[in-house]
Amino acid sequence: MSTVVDAARAPSVPTPSAGVLAYYPGCSLHGTEPEYDESLRAVVEALGIAVAEIPDWNCCGASSGHTTDHLLGVALPARNLALAEAAGFDRVLAPCAACYNRLASARIAVAEDAEVRERMPDILGREFANSVEVLSVLNVLREAAADIAQRAAAPRPTPNPIVGARLASYYGCLLVRPPEVSGGDDPEQPMFMDEIVRACGGEAIDWNMKVECCGGAFSVSRTSSVLRMGRAIIEDARRNGAEAIVVACPLCHTNLDLRQKAMESRGEARMPVLFITQVVGLALGLPPETLGLKRHFIATEPLLADLSVRAAQRVADEKKAAEEKAAKAAARAAKAAEAKKAAEAAPDAGGDA
């Protein structure tokens, strides 16, 4: 049975008693980055995490709403929290880093500002207790890290291609800053995406640009700045041995994937940029086509082909090593048996005397 509920078609939205997370996809996952939505839905279903899309959700205002008007910047995301609350949910998953930041910021603003809190019911047109916890995709996957690790290591016909893959976990700005909003990890040296990469069997490289800004929403208005900042991120990842960059933000993905061709200056090899949900999906054995891996501007096929070849070779090497170990053990056992037989057949020294 599918654990992904289409709230638009469902007669009623499941309640928290059924262990269901409210799902807020936001504009990017339904627009510019559908592969993030596809891979997330595939992964949560594989992990048995039930989610239901919030019916009638609206744009959270990222990234211009809160810069235009503070109250608008709170009310837009708060409406989504109110809808989730009214449907009976106590937690909402917002995979987009900008959406996560806006929903979490709104929750804090309503909790801490009495004037804003008093005005919300009139603005939203409904009661609002501000009771819904906001989770990022990294929060949810981190909770499932033990299950991911167990499934990623389990024997299967097609070996896990992520084992040994050298991946650069890129957090950007909004997943870790400001710390009073993001919470849960070090804003300068976060590790929760690295932990998920390791649970998948990958090698999370140590590098310098994991929390540097990619240029954010300036991708159109200040493209040259985005190219400069993105080039520095990709060059540092490459310099530290990364084979791909892993993100959890649609805007970061756009800036590093879409703009990468324009960043090239010396004919460098292009760096695939993967969503963390795609990495988890591959580790769980999900088909690449269900994870949206063919939608990227920087082709992922060469990397996946190389990882698959290496995975097959690793399995072959492990099988050969196991066979050699078994052969040596059998040889030792046979030699010990012969020695024992010879000892038993030898004349008793005491009897001869």
How far is CA 42 from each of CA 3, 168, 248, rounded to the nearest angstrom? 10, 23, 16
pLDDT in tens, 134-158: 999 999 999 999 999 999 999 988 9
**Do 206 and 123 share a domain, yes or no?**
no
- Number of neighbours of residue 304 by Cβ within 10 angstroms: 17
The Cα 180–Cα 113 span in angstroms is 15
Mean pLDDT computed over every residue of the chain:
89
- Read off the pLDDT of each residue in 1-29 and give the average, rounded to a whole number: 64
Domain stops at, among 106, 135, 164: 135
Mean pLDDT of 211-227: 83
Report pTM: 0.87
Higher pLDDT, 179 or 233: 233
166-169 vs 203-204, strand pairing mode: parallel
Which tops the pLDDT comparison, 207 or 269?
207
Q: Which domain CATH number covers 16?
A: 1.20.1050.140
Same domain for 186 and 54? no
Q: Which of 108, 176, 179 shows the shortest CA–CA distance to 138?
A: 176
Same domain, yes or no, for 270 and 197? yes
Instruction: Determine the structural domain holding residue 246 and report its residue range.
Output: 156-309
Amino acid identity of 132? V
Both 183 and 118 in one domain: the answer is no
* In a domain? residue 344: no
Of the pLDDT bands very low, low, confident and very high (cuts 50, 70, 90), residue 87 is very high
201 and 73 share one domain: no
User: 160 and 47, same structural domain?
Assistant: no
pLDDT, tens digit (0-9, with 9 covering 90-100), for 162-188: 999 999 999 998 899 888 888 767 888
Cis before 178 (ω within 30): yes
Q: Are residues 162 and 281 in the same domain?
A: yes
Within the chain, residue ranges assigned H as helices are: 26-30, 34-47, 65-68, 70-86, 97-112, 114-124, 137-143, 145-153, 179-182, 192-199, 223-239, 250-253, 260-263, 276-283, 301-345, 349-352
- pLDDT tens for 181-212 read 887 678 889 999 999 999 999 999 999 999 99
Quickly state the pLDDT bin for 237 (edges 50, 70, 90). Answer: very high
Mean pLDDT, range 36-64, rounded to an integer: 93
My answer on whether 304 and 162 are in the same domain is yes
The pLDDT, as a whole number, for residue 212 is 94
Q: For residue 254, what are its two tokens?
A: 């756009």
90, 220: one domain: no
Residue 347 lies in a domain: no
**Is 84 part of a structural domain of the chain?**
yes
Q: The domain that contains 283 carries what CATH number? A: 3.40.50.11810
Q: Is the pLDDT of residue 353 over 50?
A: no
Provide the number of structural domains found in the chain. Answer: 2
Tell me, yes or no, whether 318 lies in a domain: no
pLDDT of amino acid 194: 97
Question: Does 80 score more than 90 pLDDT?
Answer: yes
246: in domain: yes
Residues 91, 179 share a domain: no
Residue 291 belongs to some domain of the structure: yes
